[in-house]
A = this chain, B = another copy of it.
């Protein structure tokens, strides 16, 4: 399925080297101020060719709004977003027509569909995520109107870890909206999407070193959502962590996810893992700690949502790999073309927007339920 969401439904389309890629958003509430520049700003954060750390493919990724917006505001009808492909060089890829690149989806697409667009990965290309970012930009505008903001950043690249809490959120500030001023700007000012300049420099070195060796590195992206109200998430199969996990694992290079303390919880005792409750300043109750990453039973607690996704090293490498061709004859494969030595850098904004898509969907779901009896919850 190429559609994500139940209420704010995003359908993406397009092959990497076809005519265009795009997205149709169905279910966006009416009345939101929206212009192409809002979306363009987010697309520009993901665009290729921004530094020598990313692929030199030059795609302006210029978005057009074809429908659903009138006189500067959304109509409540489907919003079609279109990005024409420009810098297509199929000749880069034609030699891969009869090959399956290791770590890519060439082989599985061929087996599943009986055919594939072999130019640059076709539909399986990371380029498809540009359409997600465009849709996510609309979601982020809606969420911002309700005080909800997502930020993501590189927690680790090529073995280089960013230490410490980002931003500082402790038991005192938990439940309040963190002071995010400048955080997102600092993240995107960094070419590796890491808010700490010293760490960022080390990460850059790790990427450069791998690139020089015709190789690639992986890493870990961390995402936080602030200002999320208590009560989002559908119990059972639609738990917020289940939905976010689906959203992030639907990115080709992501191979795992964890929430809050994540895999560390395997080695903890219950007495260490539980988030005890405390009185909040208004006489209510809040969790005192956030080991669970902002949720309980799949429903948000009001504390920041915290998750981390592992990103595998870019599959396309210049280094020679031993492989076989489609008939099983041995060969040496060195992938030329234009590639990112570290895809983490460009996945950071995609992770952010996928989180936004999950949150807006659950927000609207909660409205369907709650609008009903917002005050009394009684009939």
Tell me whether A249 and B256 are in contact (CB under 8 A). Answer: no
Tell me whether B271 and A321 are in contact (CB under 8 A). Answer: yes
Bound complex: CA A244 to CA B246 (Å): 8
* CB contact under 8 A between A239 and B249, given known A67-B19, A364-B368: yes
Tell me whether A269 and B216 are in contact (CB under 8 A). Answer: yes
Q: Give the most central of A64, A80, A247: most B CB within 10 Å.
A: A80
Tell me whether A279 and B324 are in contact (CB under 8 A). Answer: yes
- Tell whether A351 is near chain B: CB-to-CB under 8 Å: no
Tell me whether B14 and A26 are in contact (CB under 8 A). Answer: no
Given contact pairs A218-B273, A276-B321, enumerate 10 new A-B contacts (beta carbons under 8 Å). A2-B236, A13-B26, A15-B70, A75-B113, A210-B270, A218-B267, A242-B247, A255-B260, A256-B257, A266-B311
Chain B: which residue is nearest A99 at the CB level?
Answer: B277
- Tell whether A124 is near chain B: CB-to-CB under 8 Å: yes
- 21 A-B residue pairings within 8 Å (CB atoms): A2-B236, A19-B65, A20-B66, A30-B115, A104-B297, A107-B285, A114-B373, A114-B377, A217-B270, A245-B246, A245-B249, A256-B257, A256-B263, A257-B257, A262-B310, A268-B312, A271-B317, A272-B313, A274-B321, A277-B323, A367-B367
A269: which of B75, B215, B278, B366 is its contact (CB, 8 Å)? B215
CB interface residues, A 295-341, toward B, < 8 Å: 295-302, 310-317, 319, 321-324, 326-330
